[in-house]
Amino acid sequence: MIPGVTLELILYATALGLVIIGLAGVVLSSHLFRMVLALVIAEAGANLMLVLSGYRWDAVAPILLQRAEQPAMVDPVPQAMVLTAIVIGVGIQALAVSILIRIRQRYGNLKRRDVAEKMDAEIAASAGIRRDISQDAPLGERPLSPLPAHSAESRGGDA
Amino acid sequence: MSEVELWIALILGIMMLSSAVLALVVKNHLAAVAAASVVSLGLALLFALMRAPDVAMTEAAVGAGLSSLILALALRRLGLWQIDSGSENSNLLSASSKGKDDA
């Protein structure tokens, strides 16, 4: 084995890699179901990193023994936290999947661009405005016209 | 002892990372769910390696079992459930680039 490569280094690299892959998948994927899968992967990496924060290579599992001298244990607090986080993660997954089912019932498919477009059109229709096509230049006038020069000067003179 | 753990962690880490990439690029959604389940199972083994047996048990039962079940059953409901990825082209990876382009 290469010297300098420790168990902790490998595990940190795995955890960081999983988080990065998951976040990249959330940002880059074009299908909403893939987004949920990427979220699951990122959550797995976060759990691994949390357990890793309490890990010692020379310690035993956190179980109390009926012995005179207790050997060093790994930190049980992050493990308890991760135990909760796993269960909460499944709850989040079920919620996301149910939202996906509703989106599919309403818009017909799960392509991100398609769903966003239909959602934009629906919001514009319910607000009673024309749909803003361009992302760069907003439609219509500015909401407040700039103050005329003389009124700004007079207000400055009063103050 | 430590040397063995090092190799196990290295193999599991590479397996998990490649499977995570596979879950995001493969075209068949059922295969993607299976790949995410592999990530979860490798995570459970790593937890057992890191002396967190309770977390490993929970991750294997809930993370790898229940969550894959939820996602796979959701695929049925979403109409994305397909065992084959097409009649003429059964290679999962070669179909993925074509699917990404027109998506």
Distance from CA of B73 to the nearest CA of A (A): 10
Q: What is the CATH number for A54?
A: 1.10.287.3510
Cβ atoms of B58 and A83 closer than 8 Å: yes
Q: Give residue-wise pLDDT tens across range B34-48.
A: 999 999 999 999 999
Residue A134 lies in a domain: no
Mean pLDDT of A25-54: 93
The domain locations on chain B are: 27-80
Which A residues 22-81 touch B at CB under 8 Å?
22, 24-25, 29-31, 33-34, 36-38, 40-41, 44, 47-48, 51-52, 55, 57, 59-62, 74, 79
Whether the predicted interface score ipTM is above 0.90? no
Which A residues 99-158 touch B at CB under 8 Å?
100-101, 104, 110-111
Confidence tier at B93 by pLDDT (50, 70, 90): low
Mean pLDDT of B14-40: 94
Confidence tier at A157 by pLDDT (50, 70, 90): very low
Residue A146 lies in a domain: no
Question: Choosing among B1, B28, B67, which should be mutated to test the A contact, i.e. which has the most A CBs within 10 A?
Answer: B67
Which residue range forms the structural domain that includes residue A43? Answer: 1-58+74-129
How far apart are alpha carbons B64 and B40 in whole angstroms? 5
Q: Other CB atoms closer than 10 Å to residue B13's CB: what's the count?
A: 21
Cβ atoms of A43 and A22 closer than 8 Å: yes
- Measured CA to CA in angstroms, residue A50 lies from A26, A39, A45, A80, A127 at distances of 21, 17, 9, 10, 45
Residue A147 lies in a domain: no
Residue A155 lies in a domain: no
Lowest mean pLDDT among A69-78, A150-159, B4-13, B61-70: A150-159
Tokens of A82: 């991760």
Residue A57 DSSP class: T
Residue A110: closest CA among chain B residues belongs to which residue?
B78
Mean pLDDT of A63-75: 82
Cα of first residue to Cα of last residue in chain B, in angstroms, is 49
More confident residue, B34 or B101: B34
Residue A90 lies in a domain: yes
Write out A112-155 in H/E/C secondary structure: HHHHHHHHHHHHHHHHCCCCCCCCCCCCCCCCCCCCCHHHHHHH
CB distance B78–A18 less than 8 Å? no
- In a 13 Å sphere around the CA of A11, the CA atoms on its Cβ side amount to 28
Q: How wide is the angle at C-alpha A129 spanned by C-alphas A144 and B103, nearest 5°?
A: 115
Number of compact structural domains in chain A: 1
